[in-house]
A and B are shown apart, each in its own frame.
Chain A
Amino acid sequence: MTDVAQPQLGALGLLRFAWRQLTSMRTALFLLLLLAVGAVPGSIWPQRGIDAARTADYIAQHPTLGPWLDRLGFFEVYASPWFAAIYLLLFISLVGCVLPRTRVHWRAMRSRPPRAPSRLERLAAHAETEVAATPEEALEAAREVLRGKRFRVHAHDGRSLSSERGYLKETGNLVFHLALIFVIIGVAIGHLFGWKGDVIVPVGQGFANTLSRYDTFSPGPWVKPEDLSPFSLTVDKLDATFEERVTGRGQFGQPRDFTAHVTATDQPGGTPRKETIKVNHPLEMDGASVFLLGNGYAPVITVRDKAGTVVYRDATPFLAQDNNYKSVGAIKVTGATPKQLGFFGLFLPTAVISQETGPSSIFPDAKKPALALGLYEGELFPEGRPQSVYTLDTKQLTQIRNAKGTDALRIWLEPGQTYQLPAGRGSITFDGVERFAGLSIRSDPGKGLTLASALLALAGLIASLVIRRRRVFVRVSPGAEPGRTVVSVGGMAKDDDDTLPEAVGEILDAVKRRMGTSR
């Protein structure tokens, strides 16, 4: 019997031991520091969740180190098992620490302050004086003083008072820690039920909040895309201004303001209303917020066939590559005959051509826009695979060469210009420049809870740091002469409290003053 029972007991004991270790302050501290250290790699190495392209670049550039770092989760630190292990252990430790303390604190708040020690002068702070009053009067005065200072007072006998204050300190401490748990719950709700989608909308075009309309859409695991609220909006105008006057270091050409003027409609058939979206001013729609996170140029391009019939006409977004909006893009003319045509190349808002760097832009605003394009023909969408709108899949395309056949065909277009394509392929016209708005539409149902919990945590933190928990005892004894009483006040604090002696002194002074006025 005992042979069987013993290992069971051992396992339980071991569990209890592990639990005690985990919930000890030493472990909590260790985990806290581990959390700090664990978070650092995510700031050093590019993170896949933030910038997938840069991460891929890094791995490509570091063929030995990169894959190992990848295996260890250094490119997805905040989603890695080891990081999760740290914060989950920390929160288990936190719960294991806070819940018992809540129980203890609950009892302490409902119980009376303990009996006064017999020798108050042994406490951390002590002061004594003699007053001209009876012990009863002195005790009554002390009681009123302590009550006035918001102490909870109890008399265990007729010669002493026990009092305590600062219960809110521990309350604040517990509120702080419990609120942190709710912060995590809020974050989790955001991850599970939140979603975000990005879409590029050229000026003059519209957007409806349906899954198919998004360029990229990343829903949380418990999101139903068919439940998206059916709002829509049209981008009427996009204002962009850049620094032109200040020429100091790092200032010329800096963006100064982006404003998208939109017409928003809450549901199909609803009343449209005019709104603006700025960088720090998102548009709040039903169930989602619309942020203006990017912008760029969408040159309006028309492609005609040999007969002059329009086969393509669109404001085509080009993706900015640098601060001066040197942008890359592609024009995919699927309706061209006999073969599909694919233009690719650069849009330059303020174009210059230099010998060293080729075509580039020297200012972000459209001061002297130009298109520098090359041309491919063939099949644009081999096997119908999805592809980026900014690049061509050249697997089944052939590049068109210039008339002499010496080099690839290069097309340079400024607004209003038309270029006749060689061998009767038609023409391309650069009609003008539009801007596009890069909109990000996001929904995070957990953010309210997270914010409220974070503010509650802050309030709890302040209470726990500012409030001092003290016990003050008052003892009276007959003085040397009749009618006089020795009042002795002693104080103790739960932790390091350098103003305790001052506070004890003040209490004694207040008692004396009260005796003085009563006579």
Chain B
Amino acid sequence: MTNQLLAQYANTSLYSAMAVFTLAMLVYALYLAALVPHRDRVAAARQSAHERDELLVGAGVPPGAAAGGAATTAAGGDQAAAEPVRPGGEEVSVRGRKAAGIAGTLTWLGALLLVLSATLRGLSVHRWPLGNMFEFAVFGAMFTALAFSIWSTRRDLRWLGLFVTGPVLLTLGLAITVWYTEAAELLPSLKSYWLAIHVTVATLSVGLFALGASASALYLLRDAFQRSGRPSVLDRFPPARNIERLAYSVHIVAFPLWTFTLIAGAIWARQAWGSYWNWDPKEVWTFVIWVVYAAYLHSRATSGWRRQATNYLALAGWACIIINYTVVNVFFVSQHSYSGL
């Protein structure tokens, strides 16, 4: 039933994607290195850091704010839409900008290679390629890379590049070595169109939560450095406030998707197991993740909470996702034991 040749091609394109992501990661690292001011210029950079931050507040948020109290023009809006604003503006060296451009293109290429890999895998098994841990991991990484690339066309996310391509590469590496499962048909309980709905949305949501977690972690770092006043490459990132908003905007997309995953999973559980909620370990953890991210959203809406604490909650949610994907899948006795391990 399964076409092993196509499965091989799928793996080849997965390996290619990994090679491309490795390059993208290195080049993003080069970009960050280019952002680091020269040692003899550190003092000067520190002096101007305050100024630049103000500039960034204007640049990071749309042009209305950039224009401040002065008359806002339509031209400002158009310009911002066409040309993403950069952290550090003109201060990024030509080499740095080139590096970021190359890295961005490589990330696109890697994401498309993952799409190709998933498609070939699906064709080789004549089903939606989301039947085991290996396939979930590839899909999740694909969504993260795609979401980052698409989002990069609208915002300057070059500072985030290293912290997206790195985790993506790590996930793919684990997938192809530890979680690898031969291309094969599915268990009867997985043969349902709900597989395509429930698991696709779940992986998409996890892919977005990954972006959110990276942004939240960077916010916490940036904030800590910003307040301690120690110079670091993080000074060249957008201001902490903007990173935090960005993390929030990813999370509020991912959270309804996760809610949908929960509901679709319940509908499918009712079809396959007879009851929409069985307190299966995987269900419990899906619920726990939902609750933790709900707490994140609530704490962000509560004025008494510090934004740092809020973002620690987001990271706690991400930790739960990791536990759900590794510990629960492999070690807990569950009806969701489809890992293929």
B62 touches A499 (CB 8 A): yes
User: Given the known A-B contacts A50-B278, A447-B276, are A129 and B71 also in contact in the complex, defined by CB atoms under 8 Å?
Assistant: yes
Chain B residues whose CB sits within 8 angstroms of the CB of A125 once the complex forms = 64-65
Complex contact A250–B295 (CB within 8 A): no
- With CB as the reference atom, state the residue of chain B lying closest to A78: B279
Contacts of B302 in A (CB 8 A): 25-26, 29
Q: At the interface, yes or no: B23 with Cβ under 8 Å from chain A?
A: no
B residues 37-91 near A (Cβ < 8 Å) are 61-65, 67, 69, 71-74, 76-77
Which residues of A in the span 414-452 have a Cβ within 8 Å of any Cβ on B? 440, 442, 444, 447, 450-451
**Known contacts A50-B279, A458-B259: A29-B274 contact under CB 8 Å:** no
Interface pair B2/A246, CB less than 8 Å apart: yes
B147 at the interface (CB under 8 A from A): no
Which residue in chain B gives the minimum CB-CB distance to A37? B288
Select which of B260, B277, B284, B291 is within 8 A of A187 by beta carbon.
Answer: B277
Q: Is B30 an interface residue (CB 8 A)?
A: no
Interface assignment of B174: CB less than 8 Å from any CB of chain A = no
Q: Are A32 and B298 in contact (CB under 8 A)?
A: yes
Is A495 interfacial (CB-CB < 8 Å)? yes
A273: interface (CB < 8 Å): no
- Inter-subunit contact A127/B298 (CB<8 Å): no
Cβ-defined contact, A43 with B298, below 8 A: no
Q: Which residues of B contact A50 (CB under 8 A)?
A: 278-280
Q: Which of A256-306 contact B (CB under 8 A)?
A: 256-258, 278-282, 289, 291, 293
Q: Are B256 and A462 in contact (CB under 8 A)?
A: yes
The interface bits of chain B over 265-301 (1 if a CB of A lies within 8 angstroms of the residue's CB, else 0) are 0111011111111111100110110011011011111
Binary contact track A118-153/B, C-beta < 8 Å → 1, others 0: 000100011111000000000000000000000000
Beyond A39-B291, A127-B67, A506-B77, 12 additional pairs, beta carbon < 8 A: A32-B291, A35-B291, A39-B287, A43-B281, A51-B333, A246-B185, A255-B188, A291-B274, A440-B274, A442-B274, A454-B263, A509-B73
**Provided the pairs A40-B288, A43-B281, A495-B301 are in contact, do residues A258 and B266 lie with their beta carbons within 8 angstroms?**
no
B residues in contact with A25, CB < 8 Å: 298, 301-302, 304
Q: List 16 A-B contacts (CB under 8 A).
A: A32-B294, A36-B292, A248-B181, A251-B181, A251-B182, A254-B185, A257-B188, A279-B272, A282-B271, A282-B274, A291-B274, A442-B275, A451-B266, A454-B266, A495-B301, A496-B248
Contact B291 A504 (CB under 8 A): no
CB-defined contacts of A393 to chain B, threshold 8 Å? none
Which of chain B's residues have a CB closer than 8 A to the CB of A113? none
Count of B interface residues, CB-CB < 8 Å: 72
A508 in contact (CB, < 8 A): yes
Total residue contacts A-B, CB cutoff 8 A: 190
> Which of B63, B67, B184, B297 makes the CB contact (< 8 A) with A246?
B184
On chain A, the residues within 8 Å of B260 by CB distance are 458
> Please, how many angstroms separate the alpha-carbon atoms of A247 and B287 in the complex?
36
8 tightest A-B contacts by CB?
A248-B182, A501-B64, A43-B281, A505-B64, A502-B62, A501-B65, A505-B72, A280-B192
CA–CA, A258 to B189, complex, Å? 9
> What residue in chain B is nearest A508 (Cβ atoms)?
B72
On whether the beta carbons of B274 and A455 are closer than 8 Å, the reply is no
Least Cβ distance of B76 to chain A in Å? 8
Q: List chain A residues, Cβ under 8 A from B185.
A: 243, 246, 254, 256
Per-residue CB contact flags for chain A residues 489-510 toward chain B (1 = under 8 Å, else 0) read: 0000001101111111110110
Alpha-carbon gap, A126 to B270, bound state (A): 53
CB neighbours (8 Å) of B242 from chain A are 498
**What is the chain B residue whose CB lies nearest that of A292?**
B188
Closest to B61 in A: A498
Tell whether B209 is near chain A: CB-to-CB under 8 Å: no
Q: Whole-angstrom distance from the CB of A282 to the nearest CB of chain B?
A: 7
Partner of B292, one of A33, A49, A250, A500: A33
CB distance from A453 to the nearest CB of B (A): 10
Check A279 against B181 for contact (C-beta < 8 Å). no
* Complex CA distance for A291 and B76, rounded to whole angstroms: 62
B285–A43 CB distance below 8 A:
yes
The winner among B279, B280, B300 for most chain A CB atoms within 10 A is: B279
Contact B272 A280 (CB under 8 A): yes
- Please determine whether A254 and B187 come into contact, CB atoms closer than 8 angstroms: yes
**Is B62 in contact with A39, judged by CB distance below 8 angstroms?**
no
Q: Which residue of the partner chain A has the closest CB to B249?
A: A498
Q: Are B271 and A251 in contact (CB under 8 A)?
A: no
> Taking the complex as formed, is A457 at the interface, i.e. its CB lies under 8 A from any CB of chain B?
yes
